[in-house]
Structure 1
């Protein structure tokens, strides 16, 4: 098991690893719409936070030799499940068919007062 921190998105000092690699599986901690290197959310609501969240995911995956094409499963946490469709519109700018497996759920509050958080599992493949 390998605990990974690239320092490209998450600020130092948080009490978790940005990812853990176990063999060919890559578990990415939840990503949010933060300005890289800070815990400050981007302004603009669900669409802008979703865009930054997925950009942060892509940056972190690429830092470890992966891309969004390697993602097998995403879990989406929304502060307001009624924003599911708005999130999907942004999501389709980052993922194309065939899409990863996915779950989405409404949460009673997210860290930093965010609108969205996304975690994923990716697979290292030749």
Structure 2
């Protein structure tokens, strides 16, 4: 088991890691729209979604994986009314490769952000 850490994504805000690699599979912790310095980005759901993908790309790279090797994504959103706007941004990152995905509305997310995404990916 290998713990994944990169300074290019926000550090964990609790007793967990950015991700773990086990048997050539990468399991990310949920990424929220914080900068690598830990600051919440300004803007609405689309800006927050772009920042989450920036963070995911950083932890995937640190794990020797990429968006192209993601097999499953789980999207947690604060408001299901944002589903279409999130999908618009999500589709910019998963163009031809479309991993399995779940999307659920939740009552609240850390730091009151609008979304959180976690992924499972094959390590190259």
Into which bin does the TM-score normalised by the smaller protein fall?
over 0.9
Where do 4+ consecutive residues of structure 1 move more than 6 Å?
none
Distance 1:23 1:12 in 2: 23
Task: Identify if the C-alpha distance between structure 1 residues 68 and 79 changes in structure 2 by more than 3 Å, giving closer, same or farther.
Answer: same
RMSD: 1.4
Distance 2:12 2:101 in 1: 29
For 1:47, the equivalent position in structure 2 comes to: 46
Q: How many pairs were matched up? A: 124
Give secondary structure in 2 for the equivalent of 1:21: strand
The C-alpha deviation readout for 1:12-33, integer Å capped at 9, x for no partner, is 6631111111111100100011
Task: Identify if the C-alpha distance between structure 1 residues 78 and 62 changes in structure 2 by more than 3 Å, giving closer, same or farther.
Answer: same
The C-alpha deviation readout for 1:2-61, integer Å capped at 9, x for no partner, is 2222232123663111111111110010001111121x2111110100010011101111
Residue ranges of structure 2 left out of the alignment (5+ in a row): none
Alignment of 1:1-126 (within 5 A): 1-11=1-11, 14-38=14-38, 40-125=39-124
Distance 2:86 2:21 in 1: 27
State the Cα distance separating 1:98 from its structure 2 match: 3.2
TM-score normalised by structure 1 residue count: 0.92
Residue ranges of structure 1 left out of the alignment (5+ in a row): none
Give secondary structure in 2 for the equivalent of 1:31: coil
